[in-house]
Amino acid sequence: MSLTLRAKRSGRVDRTKPLSFTFDGKTYRGFEGDTLASALLANGVHLMGRSFKYHRPRGVITAGSDEPNALVSVGSGARHTPNLRAPQVELYDGLVAKSQNAWPSLSFDVGAINNFLSPLFVAGFYYKTFMWPNVAWKKLYEPIIRRAAGLGTASSEPDPDHYSTRFAHCDVLVVGSGPAGLSAALSAARTGARVILCDEQAEFGGSLLSELHATVDGKPAAQWVEEAVAELKALAGTVTLLPRTQAFGYFAQNFLGLVERVTDHLATPDPKLPRDRLWQVRAKEVVIAAGAHERPMVFPDNDRPGIMLADAARTYANRYGVRPGGRAVVATAHDSAYQAALDLKAAGVSIELIADLRKEANGPLPMAARAAGIRVETGMAITGSTGRLRVNAALVSKLGTDGEEAIPCDLILMCGGWTPSVHLFSQSRGKLVFDDARQVFIPGESAQAERSAGACKGSETLAQAFEDGFAAGLDAAAKAGCAQGKATQVKLAGVLDAHGGFLGAVPHPHDAGRVKAFVDYQNDVTAKDIKLATREGMRSIEHVKRYTTTGMATDQGKLSNMNALAIAAEALGKPIPAVGLTTFRQPYTPISFGAMANHSRGDLFDPVRKTATHAWAEAQGAVFEDVGLWKRAWYFPHAGEDMHAAVLRECKTVRDSAGVFDASTLGKIEVVGPDAAEFMNILYTNPWSKLEVGRCRYGLMLNEAGFVMDDGVVGRIAEDRFHVTTTTGGAPRVLNHMEDYLQTEFPNLKVALTSTTEQYSVVAVQGPNARKIIAPLIDGIDISNEAMPHMSVRLGKICGVPTRLFRMSFTGELGFEVNVPADYGQAIWEAIWAEAQKYEACAYGTETMHVLRAEKGYIIVGQETDGTVTPNDLGLDWAIGKAKPDFVGKRSLTRPDLVKADRKQLVGLLTVEPQTVLEEGAQITLIGNPPAGTSALGHVTSSYQSAVLGRSFALAIVSAGRARMGETLYVPMPDGPIAVTVTDPVFYDKEGAKLHV
């Protein structure tokens, strides 16, 4: 299509730089400086989308980020981005845009049948329909509804772009760069304050960019903007200018989130640039200059393509040089639409009629319109529209009459007044107050160091916006501790003030039950829906909102909230402030997941911790598992082995000869100081005072409620020094717990705590041949059974490297754990491995470790325990120092609930059928097929196939389990109950003879 719809004036669009783009596969032309919306309008395209629920054809209605209708998808493949607002999409050469929510095409959409089925889709229809049968909701209704009602689809490919983040501090953050924001930034910056000025648009200037006639200090408005921006740019040392940057959230302590769109507007962006940049700004003072939203009028069929907000049309004409139509009807209740009519007339649009809902309109603008020869009717309502894919007539009606006049047109401009954008102020937790005279909510008492300026404060005139802005900038800079600045004033000319406004639904002569007068375009909510919600008992606006979904779309109800509120208030017979306002939430406009996730994805999502032997294990073909942030070798399969076979072989090898295991991930804490033993006495259940230097003990840690929190072997290295080990996942928690008691309850104890987890590599050598394997490598330690008995620790050397050598076992076999400085971990491992091979020993992983310890009935905290298990439940009473007057958790052990006879206790389970391996977590019951609602006796905590037993076995916690030895219980499963026999939890070497060889 030729560009016949361009006005004579080119506005801010550069007509020497044509661009080509496609919309739904069709190629169009635009110019540099256009948005997708302005370029489509210039090509005569109003139809840009289909509505959410009824699939009604919709055109662009605004010229900004508050657009509810013209939501499009831009880009293709991995860069396909849905739900972008066409007035915000900057045009570039080769841009590919598509409409959404229409099939097979935008002009013929099968889904539009919903429009005729609309009696089904009334407010609350999700609650009323599809209630039965229950299962059909998930399987049938929901998928169908989700497909039919929706927005664009996100790309399923990984995001190819990267995102960046910046933290920034400033004296004054100014949000919005219209007249108020620019003057605030100027007056603050002139005091030397560090200023950040952000604006969601590509250009600074806001509404001034759409001014044709206004002059500021004798200069055209656009020139004043240019000079103001140049002045700010010259202060680059202290002023940061952020165009294309959305302030999306106002958080506690003047912390604001901004997203800067860095490359979305470029045809071929530098791949080094991030797509979005997240700014986290801590501002001493904030100036909110967010402007106001023009309100639509709620009249029947107010959503046809070609119906748009009056000032948006003015922006398209003045700023982008586009004629959005040929013949326009203006429906208004505010003087500002007259300015739009005058400007559009100047751009070559024929204004057929201005229908003003007010009884009188005698302000300077209405008078100017009349003087320009435009037909102006007051006391006249717009009561409908006709047309299919584009409006072809407006229906108007004198108030109080039934007669309706159809006025042919291809454009309807509406203006119900202006709603101050109080979103950010409200997010800052400031209190809104209702201004009865002007029927708007405006900022009241501040909760944070901020002030509003201009239209978002409720100021109605351009002069007031400048005045607010300069004053706000000075005030903010002064409060931030900067120099006192000088008051500034500007001289304005060529501006006519505008007043007025109307809230709610426009009266009309039609059957209210049969027409659709849209309140919330994006969610397809009509005036009828809101009235229905109040009839059905919704009283609070929060309930009306959720029942009808008004204001719940991604536009956050920027256009709809006030009209919805007024309709609800009228239906409820209450004043507007009594009905209340819904909460404004972040983000102000949708922001990308990429900006939020930022660098935290892929390899950078979480840190990875690897032990010193990681590369060795990898080379041996180990399979790894994640334990917390650690990568641990899970098992070492030989050629042709699956996990099951590998684990059985590893288990058998350890029991027959020996195995080598990397235990480095266990937490290690050095407890040092003259009061170290006393501290250990408080933190662990065991007695420590009499533990000799060079001996070890199994330590059990409880929380104050008496439940097992952690365990581990503790070695006494010296009188005043303990080497404490913790579970792999529990290390930080245990250190925090210890520090808590040391710092806050027992600060008198002279003890220092140091995490040494990463300082030591730990090689466990377990099995009958363990001693023979390490013997040739050890210097200066007698490791004979007599000199170094089970549960002892010695200092010496291995391969010339200092070691803390523990004799201990988590397998039930003779075992040593070699602690060496982590830098030597791999070398020592390889030296031990070379010896181990002489005995056909194996390397084993965490799975084999789990099986071997379970055969011995050794617990794993977090597997046999779940935060409600006591030492007695686990049969660990022997680990409690009964003579100690106190330790953490001791008092709780005598609480009535903790001594109940039916507490769940650790037992072994053997399936009657020996090869059946129970599922961990499975419930245990008294009978095989208990009736629904029966409580389980307990659950399976560990379950494996055992090589040495030649059968399966399991550990479980079972109510009064120790009194049930030999009893048959059941584990009900989908395929039928599994019969099990309750046994002692120790399955292998009950006497512990193999530990002491």
Partner 1 sequence: MLLIPCPHCGNRPELEFRYAGEAHIARPADPSTTSDQEWAEYLYFRSNPKGLHIERWRHVSGCARFFNCVRDTVSDKILKTYPAGQPKPDLAELVKEAGQ
Which residues bind to partner 1, rule: CB under 8 A?
251-253, 255, 280, 282, 429, 447, 704-705, 736, 739-740, 743-745, 747, 885-886, 890-892, 895-896
Cβ–Cβ under 8 Å, residues 47 and 112: no
- Give the shortest CB-201-to-partner 1 separation in angstroms: 27
Residue closer to partner 1, measured from CB, 79 or 884: 884
- Give the shortest CB-754-to-partner 1 separation in angstroms: 11
> Could you give the CA distance from residue 607 to residue 630 in angstroms, rounded to a whole number?
9
Residue closer to partner 1, measured from CB, 25 or 747: 747
- Give the shortest CB-598-to-partner 1 separation in angstroms: 14
Residue closer to partner 1, measured from CB, 596 or 705: 705
- Give the shortest CB-742-to-partner 1 separation in angstroms: 10
DSSP output for 79-113: G-EEEEEGGG-B--TTEEEE--S-SB-SSSBGGGH
> Could you give the CA distance from residue 668 to residue 681 in angstroms, rounded to a whole number?
18
Residue closer to partner 1, measured from CB, 429 or 838: 429
> Could you give the CA distance from residue 803 to residue 781 in angstroms, rounded to a whole number?
10
Residue closer to partner 1, measured from CB, 742 or 762: 742
- Give the shortest CB-885-to-partner 1 separation in angstroms: 7
The 3-class secondary structure across 612-661, one letter per residue, is CCHHHHHHCCCEEEEECCEEEEEECCCCCCCHHHHHHHHHHHHHHCCEEE
3-class DSSP state for residue 252? coil
- Give the shortest CB-744-to-partner 1 separation in angstroms: 5
- Give the shortest CB-722-to-partner 1 separation in angstroms: 20
- Give the shortest CB-743-to-partner 1 separation in angstroms: 5
- Give the shortest CB-705-to-partner 1 separation in angstroms: 6
Exposed e or buried b per residue across 305-321, where buried means at least 16 C-beta atoms within 10 angstroms of its C-beta: bbbbbbbbbbbbbbbbb
- Give the shortest CB-824-to-partner 1 separation in angstroms: 29
Cβ neighbours, 10 Å, residue 177: 32
- Give the shortest CB-886-to-partner 1 separation in angstroms: 6
Cβ–Cβ under 8 Å, residues 321 and 489: no
Residue closer to partner 1, measured from CB, 446 or 554: 446
Amino acid at 811: T
Q: Outline where DSSP puts E strands in 873-918.
A: 904-911
Q: What is the dihedral of CA 549, 553, 555, 557, to 10 degrees?
A: 10
- Torsions phi, psi for 733 (to 5 deg): -65, -45
Residue closer to partner 1, measured from CB, 447 or 783: 447
**∠ at Cα 39 (107, 327), nearest 5°?**
70
Residue closer to partner 1, measured from CB, 252 or 932: 252
β-pairing, 623-627 vs 696-702, is unpaired
Residue closer to partner 1, measured from CB, 384 or 430: 430
- Give the shortest CB-795-to-partner 1 separation in angstroms: 29
Residue closer to partner 1, measured from CB, 446 or 488: 446
3-class DSSP state for residue 279? strand
- Give the shortest CB-239-to-partner 1 separation in angstroms: 24
3-class DSSP state for residue 899? helix
Residue closer to partner 1, measured from CB, 607 or 976: 607
Residue closer to partner 1, measured from CB, 156 or 736: 736
- Give the shortest CB-969-to-partner 1 separation in angstroms: 33
Residue closer to partner 1, measured from CB, 27 or 736: 736
> Could you give the CA distance from residue 946 to residue 953 in angstroms, rounded to a whole number?
7
In Å, how far are 172, 487, 648 from 475, measured between CA atoms?
10, 10, 76
- Give the shortest CB-891-to-partner 1 separation in angstroms: 4
- Give the shortest CB-470-to-partner 1 separation in angstroms: 29
> Could you give the CA distance from residue 362 to residue 15 in angstroms, rounded to a whole number?
39
**∠ at Cα 42 (387, 46), nearest 5°?**
25
Instruction: Tell which residue, 711, 678, 741, 684, has the closest CA to residue 880.
Output: 684
3-class DSSP state for residue 951? strand
Question: How many CA atoms, within 13 angstroms, populate the side-chain half-sphere of residue 723?
Answer: 25
Residue closer to partner 1, measured from CB, 826 or 872: 872
- Give the shortest CB-751-to-partner 1 separation in angstroms: 14
Cβ–Cβ under 8 Å, residues 153 and 176: no
Dmax over CA atoms of the chain, in Å, equals 115
Residue closer to partner 1, measured from CB, 402 or 739: 739
> Could you give the CA distance from residue 871 to residue 564 in angstroms, rounded to a whole number?
61
Residue closer to partner 1, measured from CB, 93 or 897: 897
> Could you give the CA distance from residue 536 to residue 127 in angstroms, rounded to a whole number?
12
Supply 58's token pair.
């919709």
Cβ–Cβ under 8 Å, residues 978 and 971: yes
Q: What is the dihedral of CA 84, 90, 94, 99, to 10 degrees?
A: 30
> Could you give the CA distance from residue 694 to residue 547 in angstroms, rounded to a whole number?
71
269: cis peptide before it, omega within 30°? Answer: no
Residue closer to partner 1, measured from CB, 698 or 746: 746
Residue closer to partner 1, measured from CB, 147 or 900: 900
- Give the shortest CB-898-to-partner 1 separation in angstroms: 10
DSSP state of 745: I
Cβ–Cβ under 8 Å, residues 72 and 47: no
> Could you give the CA distance from residue 30 to residue 48 in angstroms, rounded to a whole number?
16
DSSP state of 540: S
